[in-house]
Structure 1
């Protein structure tokens, strides 16, 4: 009797497993063990000709919007006389983003080369204003001249000559410009002078999006053919295997992916590395919490709160002389010497002194955190918000009228929120994959315990 029951139970298990296999085969994916799960997922994620993974990389099935929030300077004359800056946030001014990749070429089975191009289109229906809106904004070219003068980097010019040039061009430290001009570019006398003197290729224009729609960089990445866990990882950028902006090899490392494709099988202790040309460095995201986005269970990863810690930056070699403080990264070395700094919006996770030096800032983790939602089995980013702030350091110069009385301050000019959301169809496929992976694990756990 016991033998018959055992035999019947065994047959039921066999029938159940066969039925499960048929079901999984019908949707194009089945798993029997950890090894087969690994093989099935990694095989799907390899970058090969005519593969879905390659199509995903070249044509991300996602909706991407970049939202700009500008800081309108309310007391420009007061700042020139030593007052604390008073700012009013304007926005969002929302742009639809299209990612394209040109010159795609397999160098061999393990290496893929391409040039990414990002093009933006204004979306008035998703914006709080129009491109014609006028704001009072920091004159960044003039700030750059003053910064370089203070650092003694303008060769052949003394303060009298710089002052005479600024006066002749009627240069102001704060200017009124439209949102469209700031984004797309406007003619600037200092930029025209720089072009004339240095033969610079800037058409005499200043733009916050100088690379919009242009081909200015190239990547060579790993296809995952030999090692699927390396899929998407950068082998070189613009022909470089490491940067030359920083003081240490660690800081100059180019590691991780370009931010559109990630290796699979994430866990809560993973550090997800990416390289950002705009940040002039690689960085890592760390686990924050479990979540669910449109039916897809996710691991949420974000920028660690100490990503721009002064001690960490100095230890890694990101500070040329000394850091201004926690929460800000000096990117002057890769932006022509202008004292530009990256931070999180409203100086989230930065020293309180940066917030207190400005009227109008309110850091809020809910709306200012840099956060990506990953489906952990495939490593696919289901959604995310890439949020960063651009700042410039203002400092006095007794010999230049524009800067005689200003107080040293790190002035925010804008922050952006690049919002990415996968198409619903892809989310459903990810949800299926994750469901069947979990189902198989449960079945084998039950089988081992019966």
Structure 2
């Protein structure tokens, strides 16, 4: 009995402890989970997020869509340009982070080598496909000459015509992207640029001009002898010097000291500010690089720094969606991202002397003064005047929207569609040959999509981590319910035996009255029925806690009494309670 009571008591104590544990986990899990999450999502050297950030398992591709000019001759005489989109031409990307250094101020620095490989299977054609496009170096030169007097423009016009320069040229996809093509104007610009005074150096350095020009010519001659050793000096291409190269040194916050700053840019190329735009506000480094946001962040705004365009762009949340079964929060670059400054005053300094309608941003200061315009593909969200200047524009948010999807609990980006269009400004320059009658406007050159997607194994891992709080909460509820039932059952069993025994000991005694035959109130009862009557009567008494032994002893005593008394006649036995 003592061992049984001890087991029941132990079960009750354990059940009570489990109830307390379940309630504690249910009430305190959010704080515990947030603490662990902040520690593991930070980019500290020993966090779980660090190796995923350093060597992501995402699939990254860069896709180019070119605008082939279908009526170049008509454009030269002032007619509206007509373009046809050709693409995609896809390149697989491999981005490798290295030279990672942690600093005492909660930041780390690293460099990233970016390599690209043409993916023919995901492209509409080979890299040798020809595109009729604008000669950007020639247009850039014309813009520089626009402010010169008529005599200089006339001399320049003869010189440029002698060099075979035309507004529209046909080049291959490979040349327009990473390969580049030799261009005399780029060569001259590179040589002249080398002689510009450096900080702290007065005047023009003619020595640098000759030395740099000598090296450039040697590189070009070497590429003719050995095409595998082609240099990029004197070449033009939208992605020249971008393949298998380092685009700069980044310094970002790790989030170890303040998780709200995780992945935010602190320095770029060891500078706290850019030196590109005329205003400090536009040169300020803001935002993240898009890999990770602060976990459990409820903010509906995000700023992304894009080094290739020398600026940050704002994004805003439009709600939740599903990506491979994972709930994600979508952020898009909306209509005001490339606002001219009318709606977003902080964008005024991006104009840099070139006023453009809303939806287009001056890219010239970032690209050595070239008259380039940044927008979303097909002038999505842009002023209607852009689409009025050219035929062939069909903006579609489903195809041309810039967005990324972030898992809201962990802040990990799982899906990106970075879509940007580059266009060129065509303006008439009187006295400069073909530019005297050219149709004016903003002519699209190409648009580029940076496509990043997390692989299935990564998404599966994220789903497991994200569902952990829900599983834990339901597990806590289940633990509380089961433990409460066990506690109630243990308490009942622990106190129930005492009550039952106390009730049994109060059984009223049974009296047996044996009467002689002939009594008026008695019937005849034969001796062989005595035992059966007694047995039937006693069987109604509960058979528990030793009553069987009492019953049997009582029957035996009655039998012995019957034998010794030897009644002369059958007796009637009446059983009743007293």
d(CA) in 2 for partners of 1:123, 1:297: 31
Partner of 1:195: 190
| CA positional deviation for 1:85 | 0.6
Flag structure 1 segments of 5+ consecutive residues without an equivalent. 1-6, 22-29
**Deviation of 1:386 (Å):** 0.6
- 2:75 is matched with which residue? 79
Larger Rg: 2
1:407 has 2:439 as partner: yes
Alpha-carbon distance between aligned partners in 2 of 1:413 and 1:134, rounded to the nearest angstrom: 14
- The change in CA–CA distance for 1:385 and 1:445 in structure 2 (over 3 A counts) is farther
Cα separation, 1, equivalents of 2:421 and 2:252: 28
2:302 to 258, 272, 280: 272
Q: Is residue 379 of structure 2 the alignment partner of residue 375 of structure 1?
A: no
- Per the alignment, do residues 12 and 430 of structure 1 end up closer, same or farther by CA in structure 2, a change over 3 Å counting? farther
Equivalent residue number for residue 291 of structure 2: 260
Determine which of 18, 34, 57 is the counterpart of 1:38: 34
Contact 2:128–2:174 (Cα < 8 Å) also in 1: yes
Who is 1:225 aligned against? 256
Structure 2 residues without counterparts, runs of 5 or longer: 1-10, 195-211, 217-231, 485-578
Q: Return the offset for 1:110.
A: 1.1
CA distance in 2, matches of 1:160, 1:443: 83
For the residue of structure 2 that corresponds to 1:392, the secondary structure is strand
Change (3 A) 1:293 1:151: farther
Are the counterparts in 2 of residues 67 and 416 from structure 1 also a CA contact under 8 Å?
yes
Q: For each residue in 1:289-312, what CA deviation from the matched residue of structure 2 results, as whole angstroms up to 9, or x when unmatched?
A: 211111111111110221112214
Written as runs of structure 1 = structure 2, the 5 A alignment for 1:293-372 is: 293-310=323-340, 311-312=342-343, 315-316=346-347, 317-321=349-353, 323-372=355-404
| Inter-CA distance 159–421: structure 2 relative to 1 (3 Å threshold) | same
Structure with a larger share of its residues in strand = 1
Verify the 8 A CA contact 2:23 2:476 in the aligned structure 1. Answer: no
Higher helix content, 1 or 2: 2
1:178 aligns with 2:182: no
Query: What does 1:283-302 correspond to in 2, within 5 Å?
Result: 283-302=313-332
Q: Which piece of structure 1 moves more, 183-192 or 435-444?
A: 435-444
Aligned CA distance change for structure 1 residues 144 and 212 (closer, same or farther; 3 Å): same
Which segment drifts farther, 162-171 or 408-417?
162-171
Which position in structure 1 is the counterpart of 2:62?
Answer: 66
Q: Say how many residue pairs are matched.
A: 433
Contact 2:146 2:153 in 1 (8 A): no
Secondary structure (helix, strand or coil) at the match of 2:248 reads: coil
Partner of 1:95: 91
1:214 matched to which residue of 2?
245
**Aligned partners of 2:78 and 2:429: how far apart in 1?**
12
Pairing 1:234–2:302 present: no
Q: 1:123 to 1:20 in 2, by over 3 A?
A: farther
Residue 376 of structure 1: how far off its partner (Å) = 0.3
1:14 lines up with 2:18 in the alignment: yes
Among 159, 174, 182, the residue aligned to 2:153: 159
Q: Please tell me whether the aligned partners of residues 31 and 40 of structure 1 are also in contact (alpha carbons under 8 angstroms).
A: no
Select between 109-118 and 381-390 the one with higher mean Cα deviation: 109-118
RMSD: 3.0
